């Protein structure tokens, strides 16, 4: 069974903006999928339709086999949502936010308290359980949003920019938690501007452009399309531009190399080493998925 099925979803606003133009795709049960697109591509509108904040113009959506139009409350009970903007009460305490959210879905208070404790401990918020939400840092608020979305144990989790405003270390910790939730069988759909996040976490990618799906494929399939990959490295030794690695000098010590498909970065390092060139450090110029994204969705 598909976790979510979208068929010919259209959204036209009264202003005349055609935000979604016949969107169709399936979200496989148990999958982790990234929804990518530039600003204005239609991602936010689509998430809004799934969460009930935006009314679609036409089309059909089913959630775990339940028609969203016919049984909206039942269908949305399968979904946990982490929106981009913080939308909990700043006058509530952390623990109360989760317990009240669970109660909204019919979870008994005793079970809600147990789930709240488990989630707050896993997300490093247990010590803040009696604090008012307004006193939390941005990263803590983001983790609280995730905990709230999971407290009723949904089958599907929608994450809209889950690591926005979170520093690198906390982002990595959040990734591990998301992986753990996914490993337990939760289907995840996330939007993100961090394309390394999509490549690191997701098995599948849906790319949107101007209200349409332009790519819908497994991550590894998309990465196979790359014909070249660029790297940036530093060295204190002189080099010549061009050559088999299409070297370009960026500044006194920094160079860019372009490797064709099938050529490993290890071979380039070995070849330069034979020329007595010592590389101090090397990194990809861009995330690999970003190169596919720029080609398809911009």
Domain shared by 102 and 165, yes or no: yes
Three-state DSSP at 258 gives strand
Cβ proximity of 131 and 94 under 8 Å: yes
pTM value > 0.85:
no
pLDDT digits (tens, 9 = 90+) for 67-116: 999 999 999 999 999 998 899 999 999 999 999 999 999 999 999 999 99
Among 253, 222, 168, 234, smallest CA distance to 34 is for: 222
Domain shared by 194 and 249, yes or no: no
Domain shared by 79 and 141, yes or no: yes
Cβ proximity of 143 and 135 under 8 Å: no
- Rounded to an integer, the average pLDDT of 171-195 is 90
DSSP H helices, the chain, are: 43-51, 72-76, 94-104, 109-122, 138-150, 168-183, 195-201, 219-223, 265-274, 288-297
Q: At which residue do the structure tokens 């372009």 appear?
A: 258
Domain shared by 177 and 199, yes or no: yes
Cα distance between residue 62 and residue 4, in whole Å: 6
Q: Higher-confidence residue: 197 or 165?
A: 197
- Rounded to an integer, the average pLDDT of 103-131 is 96
Domain shared by 66 and 167, yes or no: yes
Domain shared by 164 and 289, yes or no: no
The number of beta carbons lying within 10 Å of the beta carbon of residue 269 is 17
Among 209, 187, 160, 213, smallest CA distance to 9 is for: 213
In this structure, what CATH number is given to the domain that contains residue 249? Answer: 3.30.70
Domain shared by 182 and 232, yes or no: no
What are the structure tokens assigned to 22, written together? 């016949």
Domain shared by 181 and 70, yes or no: yes
Domain shared by 15 and 127, yes or no: yes
User: Which residue, 202, 223, 244, sits at the end of a domain?
Assistant: 223
Q: Higher-confidence residue: 7 or 234?
A: 7
Domain shared by 25 and 155, yes or no: yes
Strand partners, 158: 81, 189
How much of the chain, in percent, has pLDDT values that exceed 70?
A: 95
pLDDT band at 224 (very low <50, low <70, confident <90, very high): confident
**Exposed, middle or buried by CB within 10 Å (0-12, 13-18, 19+), for 36?**
buried
Domain shared by 192 and 63, yes or no: yes
Domain shared by 98 and 213, yes or no: yes
Total of domains in the chain: 2
Question: In sequence order, what DSSP letters do the residues of 98-157 get, joined into one string?
Answer: HHHHHHHTT--HHHHHHHHHHHHHHTT-GGGTTSBGGGS-HHHHHHHHHHHHHTT--SEE
User: Which residue, 164, 188, 223, sits at the end of a domain?
Assistant: 223
- Rounded to an integer, the average pLDDT of 25-36 is 96
pLDDT band at 225 (very low <50, low <70, confident <90, very high): confident
Task: Check whether 294 has a pLDDT greater than 90.
Answer: no
The number of beta carbons lying within 10 Å of the beta carbon of residue 266 is 8
User: Which residue, 195, 223, 251, sits at the end of a domain?
Assistant: 223
Q: Are strands 204-209 and 212-218 parallel, antiparallel or unpaired?
A: antiparallel
Domain that holds residue 253: 228-297
pLDDT band at 292 (very low <50, low <70, confident <90, very high): confident
In this structure, what CATH number is given to the domain that contains residue 202? Answer: 3.40.50.300
Q: Are strands 156-160 and 58-63 parallel, antiparallel or unpaired?
A: unpaired
């Amino acid at each position: 069974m598909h976790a979510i099925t979208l068929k010919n979803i259209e959204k036209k606003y009264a202003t005349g903006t055609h935000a979604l133009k016949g969107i169709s795709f399936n979200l496989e049960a148990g999958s982790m999928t990234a929804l990518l697109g530039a600003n204005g591509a239609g991602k936010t509108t689509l998430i809004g339709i799934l969460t009930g904040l935006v009314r679609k113009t036409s089309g059909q959506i089913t959630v775990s086999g339940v028609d969203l139009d016919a049984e909206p409350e039942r269908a949305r009970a399968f979904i946990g949502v982490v929106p981009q903007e913080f939308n909990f009460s700043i006058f509530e305490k952390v623990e109360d936010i989760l317990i009240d959210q669970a109660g909204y879905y019919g979870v008994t208070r005793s079970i809600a308290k147990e789930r709240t404790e488990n989630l707050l401990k896993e997300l490093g918020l247990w010590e803040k359980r009696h604090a008012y939400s307004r006193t939390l840092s941005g990263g803590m608020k983001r983790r609280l949003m995730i905990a709230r979305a999971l407290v009723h144990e949904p089958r599907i989790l929608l994450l809209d920019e889950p690591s926005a405003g979170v520093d690198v270390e906390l982002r990595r910790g959040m990734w591990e938690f998301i992986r753990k939730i996914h490993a337990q069988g939760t289907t995840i759909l996330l939007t993100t501007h961090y394309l390394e996040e999509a490549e690191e976490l997701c098995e599948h990618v849906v790319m949107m452009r101007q209200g349409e799906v332009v790519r819908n494929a497994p991550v590894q399939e998309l990465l196979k399309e790359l014909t070249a990959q660029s790297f940036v490295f530093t060295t204190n030794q002189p080099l010549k531009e061009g050559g088999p690695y299409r070297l370009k000098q960026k500044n006194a010590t920094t160079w860019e190399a372009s490797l064709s498909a099938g050529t490993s970065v290890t071979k380039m390092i070995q070849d330069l080493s034979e020329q007595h060139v010592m590389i101090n450090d090397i990194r990809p110029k861009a995330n690999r998925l970003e190169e596919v994204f720029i080609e398809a969705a911009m």
